């Protein structure tokens, strides 16, 4: 999970710098620049939250499976 977040954070900032530089070459209004960065950031944060939620669910399922596997079935012998 940590490697995943580091990869996408690095990718996000590289793309932000590259696309931002290209966009700023042609932009003349601050509102366009602000809108571009806002949309890019919102999409990144939404995808990051989805990845974290999905990973947490996966670990919860693994933990549940471990508990089921570790459960001891008692047999009463008379």
| Tens-digit pLDDT profile for residues 20-34 | 777 777 766 777 778
- pLDDT tens across 8-58, in order? 888 888 888 888 777 777 766 777 778 878 888 898 899 889 989 999 999
Q: What residue spans define the domains of the chain?
A: 2-70
Q: Are 13 and 37 in contact (CB under 8 A)?
A: no
Q: Cα–Cα distance between 22 and 5 in angstroms, integer? A: 25
State how far the alpha carbon of 65 is from the alpha carbons of 21, 34, 59, 69, in Å. Answer: 49, 47, 10, 6
In this structure, the number of other CB atoms found within 10 A of the CB of residue 23 comes to 14
Place of tokens 């793309």: 15
């Amino acid at each position: 999970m940590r490697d995943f977040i580091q990869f996408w954070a690095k990718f996000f900032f590289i793309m932000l710098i590259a696309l931002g530089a290209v966009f700023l070459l042609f932009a003349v209004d601050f509102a366009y620049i602000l809108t571009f960065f806002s949309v890019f950031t919102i999409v990144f944060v939404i995808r990051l939250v989805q990845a974290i939620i999905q990973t947490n669910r996966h670990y919860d399922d693994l933990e549940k499976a471990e508990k089921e596997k570790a459960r001891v079935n008692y047999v009463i012998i008379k």
